[in-house]
Amino acid sequence: MTVLVIAEHDNSVLKGATLNTVAAAAKLDSEVHVLVAGKGVDAVATAAAAVAGVAKVLVADSDALANDLAENVAEQVLQVAGAYSHILFPATASGKNTAPRVAAKLDVAQISEITAVVDADTFERPIYAGNAIATVKSADAKKVITVRTTAFDAVAATGGTATVESVAAVADSGLSAFVSREVVKSARPELTAASVIVSGGRGLGSAENFKILDGVADKLGAAVGASRAAVDAGYAPNDLQVGQTGKVVAPQLYIAVGISGAIQHLAGMKDSKVIVAINKDAEAPIFGVADYGLVADLFTAVPELEKAL
Amino acid sequence: MKVLVPVKRVVDYNVKVRVKSDNTDVDIANVKMSMNPFDEIAVEEATRLKEKGVATEIVAVSCGVSQCQEQIRSAMAIGADRGVLVETNAQLQPLAVAKLLKAVADKEAPQLIILGKQAIDDDANQTGQMLAALLGWPQATFASEVVVEGDRVKVTREIDGGLETLSLKLPAIITTDLRLNEPRYATLPKIMQAKKKPLETLTPEALGVDVSPRLSVLKVTEPAARQAGIKVPDVATLVDKLKNEAKVI
């Protein structure tokens, strides 16, 4: 039994989500290999080889894999899939895009967003926006799995001594083509990797007011997040959205400002270690999950908080 | 072009589901059911494509119990021209649904299939991608903008950290994200008209698809409850608690 982890990267940097996925793979008590599929990925392969617990790194390097097109990456995974009992992807936008394609071609079910490994065939995963946890057992010979990264502590990025092996890269499918990418530039830590998150909701009232969170975020070295209401209202870009349909986070400290706490939002943050809610409505559901609640007008409380830090 | 839009009957997104006391499943007896919100966005997008003169016919498909007809009628009230129900009482998992939809697509030969990115009950986020794989078509998941240009479709997708744009060769699969559009409300006259639109019923057996589940659910439990918190009177107390009690700053 050998486990394959599909690395998350941007062709130059190995993303942290890979380390959480390797941690989930390690729970299967078997050899862990990592596939790095991309273009000009030498640095990524070197980083993957240094990850604790990884025995081998497979590298597929070609133009066809440069832009993470699901058609090509899935073919690449299928080409090496034969040797593996489990194929794990991080449950990121990229992993979720490709994994089901691989599963369908292998004619196996995919197990989405696992939060725990019970044994080699049995896994826990949240359903109904995190309102229930299902324990599922797979009858398939091969398991294709996506891993909820916040549910597994990252393995060390160093200390590993994996061998790096180059594998033949697939040809371009010709079905889809990359046109452009707009990445939001931010000096703040990445939302899913941040240890502190300050999140704003509809209560902020405008995109201008949303900036009130920046001061607190700067003082705490925190990432800024948003509820769906804030994103839909145009107060914040959509990649900041925390929730069932956005990002799932589990920081040490989550400060929810002007967020009522709809179940879809709670699904994305209720595994945070400490939750603080600042809201003027004392009946808001967010207070049901908050460790510390402050019933106050955020426009006075947030500047006060910034000053007090 | 013909557009196929699969829709799923799910527990309404406003319902807070409870786990059954015997831990076999969640209790959905007597709760309100609706069309999956992402599928409404898919129907709306197909309808807009028709209004722009790009789509000529919209076929709504649902797989499941006979009550799924309600969701197909809802899709018709938004803009679908006709419906197909693949009726079964079996527990359907995404791979089985993808196979059923492939069989329907083989019959209907659409140029575009628009699905929701995930259903809010199983939260799987698999069916669209699996269907694309089975058909051998390109896919653009988590779409926030769709533009059909001749024999290709340009799709902007929501990815971690921003947006990316892909160009797919038709026929293709698109799955919708929340910001693709704002679904319209069905008006009463449209709801009445929808009752007269044709709805064909098929079965997995007739389509030659084995829908037996691959994953068995051993148990369903409540998530671990959080310890009840406290309310603090002011910012100073909050900062003090975070520093000295929780020790997180």
The ipTM assigned to this model is 0.95
Strands (E), A82-240: 86-90, 110-114, 116-119, 122-127, 132-138, 143-147, 163-166, 176-183, 196-200, 223-226
Task: Please answer whether residues A224 and A199 qualify as being in contact, where contact means their C-beta atoms are separated by less than 8 angstroms.
Answer: yes
- Is A138 an 8 Å CB contact of chain B? yes
Answer whether A110 sits within 8 Å of B94, measured CB to CB. Answer: yes
- Residues of chain A contacting B141 with CB distance shorter than 8 Å: 70, 96-97
Cα separations in angstroms, A200 against A110, A279, B46: 34, 10, 33
Is residue B229 in some structural domain?
no
Mean pLDDT within A5-29: 97
Q: Identify the pLDDT of residue B210.
A: 97
Using a CB-CB cut-off of 8 Å, the residues of chain A touching B220 are 127, 132-135
Any binding-site annotation on A202?
A: yes
Structure tokens at B108: 């209907």
Using only the alpha carbons of chain B, give its radius of gyration. Answer: 21
Residues of A with Cβ-Cβ distance to B227 under 8 angstroms: 291
Q: What is the pLDDT of residue A61?
A: 98
Least-confidence region, from B25-29, B179-183, B224-228: B224-228
Where do the structural domains in chain A lie, given as residue ranges? 2-166, 196-308
Residue B125 pLDDT? 98
Q: Across all residues in chain B, what is the average pLDDT?
A: 96
pLDDT higher than threshold 80 for residue A185: no
Work out the angle between the directed axes of helices B94-108 and A93-106 (0-180°, nearest 10): 70
**Digit-coded pLDDT (tens) for B22-65:** 999 999 999 999 999 999 999 999 999 999 999 999 999 999 99
Is A33 marked within a binding site? no
Could A305 and B137 be called an inter-chain contact, meaning their C-beta atoms sit closer than 8 Å?
no
Band of pLDDT at residue A149, cut at 50, 70 and 90: very high
What's A2-166's CATH class? alpha beta
CB contact under 8 A, A292 and B144: no
Confidence of residue A38 (pLDDT cuts 50, 70, 90): very high
Q: How far apart are CA B58 and CA A270, in angstroms?
A: 40
Query: Are A184 and B162 an interchain contact pair (Cβ–Cβ within 8 Å)?
Result: yes
Chain B contact for A128 (CB, 8 A cutoff) = yes
Q: Is residue B154 part of a domain?
A: yes
Burial group, residue A236, by CB count within 10 angstroms (0-12, 13-18, 19+) = buried
Q: Please report, rounded to a whole number, the percentage of residues in chain A having pLDDT higher than 90.
A: 94
Nearest beta carbon to residue B221 from set A133, A175, A296 = A133
Print burial letters for B69-101: b (CB count within 10 Å at least 16), e (below 16): bebbbbbbbbbbbbbbbbbbeeebbbbbbbbbb
State in Å, rounded, how far the first CA of chain A is from the last one: 51
A277 CB-contact burial (10 Å; exposed 0-12 / middle 13-18 / buried 19+): buried
How far B140 CA sits from the closest chain A CA (Å)?
8
Residue A135: pLDDT band by 50, 70, 90 thresholds? very high
**Mutation to test the A interface, candidates B149, B155, B166, most A Cβ within 10 Å:** B166
| Number of structural domains chain B divides into | 1
Give a yes or no: residue B240 inside a domain.
no
B161 pLDDT band (50/70/90 cuts)? confident
Residue A62 counted as an annotated binding residue? no
Q: Work out the mean pLDDT of chain A and round it to a whole number.
A: 96
Q: What is the DSSP letter of B77?
A: H
Give the C-alpha distances (Å, rounded to integers) separating A17 from A8, A151, A192: 7, 11, 8
Mean pLDDT, range B84-93, rounded to an integer = 97
Q: DSSP 3-state assignment of B196?
A: coil
Residue A282, pLDDT score: 96
Query: For residue B172, is it left (φ>0), alpha (ψ between -120 and 50) or beta?
Result: beta
User: Do B141 and A135 count as a contact with CB atoms less than 8 A apart?
Assistant: no
Please name the residues in contact with A258: beta carbons below 8 A apart, sequence gap of 6 or more.
Answer: A200, A201, A202, A203, A204, A205, A278, A279, A298
Q: Would you tell me the crossing angle of helices B127-135 and B94-108 to the nearest 10 degrees?
A: 50
Q: SS3 of A48, please? A: helix
Domain of residue B182, CATH code? 3.40.50.620
Q: Would you state the pLDDT for residue B249?
A: 84
Provide DSSP, B134-146: HHT--EEEEEEEE
Question: What is the pLDDT, as a whole number, of residue B57?
Answer: 98
Cα angle: A268, vertex A270, A271; to 5 degrees: 100
For B130, other C-beta atoms within 10 Å of its C-beta total 29
- Do the beta carbons of residue A2 and residue A60 sit within 8 Å? no
On chain A, the residues whose CB falls within 8 A of the CB of B183 are none
Inspect the interface and report whether the beta carbons of B133 and A104 lie closer than 8 Å.
yes
The DSSP element (H or E) to which A2 belongs, if any, is: strand A2-6
Cβ pairs A/B, distance under 8 A: 253
**Cross-chain residue pair B159–A93, CB shorter than 8 Å:** yes
A262 is annotated as contributing to ligand binding: yes
Q: Give the pLDDT band (50/70/90) at residue B202.
A: very high
Fold of A196-308: Rossmann fold (3.40.50)
A22 pLDDT higher than 90: yes
Angstroms from B56 CA to nearest CA on chain A: 23
pLDDT of residue A187: 82
Phi–psi pair at A8, nearest 5 degrees: -100, 125
pLDDT at A183 over 90: no
Share of chain B above pLDDT 70, in %: 100
A93 touches chain B (CB under 8 A): yes
CA distances from A63 to A41, A73, A79 (A): 11, 11, 17
Choosing among A18, A110, A218, A304, which should be mutated to test the B contact, i.e. which has the most B CBs within 10 A?
A110
- Alpha carbons A306 and A248: distance in angstroms, whole number: 26
What pTM does this model have?
Answer: 0.95
Q: Any known ligand binding at A243?
A: yes
Percent of chain B with pLDDT over 90: 94
**By the CB < 8 Å criterion, does A47 face chain B?**
no
Residue B60 C-alpha, separation from nearest chain A C-alpha, in angstroms: 23
Residue A21 scores a pLDDT above 80:
yes
pLDDT in tens, B90-114: 999 999 999 999 999 999 999 999 9
Q: Is residue B233 part of a domain?
A: no
Residue B218 lies in a domain: yes
pLDDT for A186-227, tens place per residue? 788 989 889 999 999 999 999 999 999 999 999 999 999 999
Do the annotations mark residue A76 as ligand-binding? no
A136–B217 CB contact, under 8 Å: yes
